[in-house]
Amino acid sequence: MKITINARKVVADQKLTDHIEKKLAKFDKYFPGDAAATVKLSRVRENERVEVTIQQGSILFRGEDENTTFMNALDCCMDAIERQIRKNKTRLTKRMRENIRIPEYEVGDGAFAEEDDAFRIRRKSFAFKPMTPEEAILQMDLLAHTFFVFNNMDTGDVCVVYKRKDGDYGLIEPEK
């Protein structure tokens, strides 16, 4: 697995880098071949924040945590990603067997655009490929987001799936 470590306003020493590589090595059994992991380290007030994104082909697994140390935060991220893998393992293997297209995403640079003193907007961009609502829900769950915008393969419309408070999912479609 190819590992990229991005540190913002902090220095990733050799001990931390070795710890990250050791922790991510346990995912090699899940991701044979061309998997890539991106680890972002930053400091937020007194806490240290870790964001881990693992990309295998067109599927993303993501975990983030804020803790007192980078190592504690990394451990929580690894647990979250492992839960995602176990939870979605059967659905992912079924999707791959059926040869269904799952979109490739480009993770944004995380830069904030200043529009106003009151708002900080984080911009992300991703490839916008057609998919079914079920595929969009799967991708939303893998990213641990509460909503997901996609191009509906059946209708050609831009739609949104979202997770409801009762645990179900919703689909927003434009009126014709």
The pLDDT-based confidence of 119 (bands split at 50, 70, 90) is low
Which CATH code for domain 118-176? 3.30.505.50
Instruction: Classify domain 1-99 at the CATH topology level.
Output: Double Stranded RNA Binding Domain (3.30.160)
Sequence spans of domains, the chain: 1-99, 118-176
Assessment of whether the complete model's pTM goes beyond 0.75: no
- Per-residue pLDDT band for 101 (boundaries 50, 70, 90) equals very low
- Residues 6+ positions from 157 with CB-CB distance below 8 Å: 151, 173, 174
Quick check: 142 and 88 in contact, CB under 8 A? yes
pLDDT in tens, 20-64: 999 988 888 777 677 889 999 998 888 899 999 988 877 788 899
Going by pLDDT thresholds of 50, 70 and 90, the confidence category of residue 111 is very low
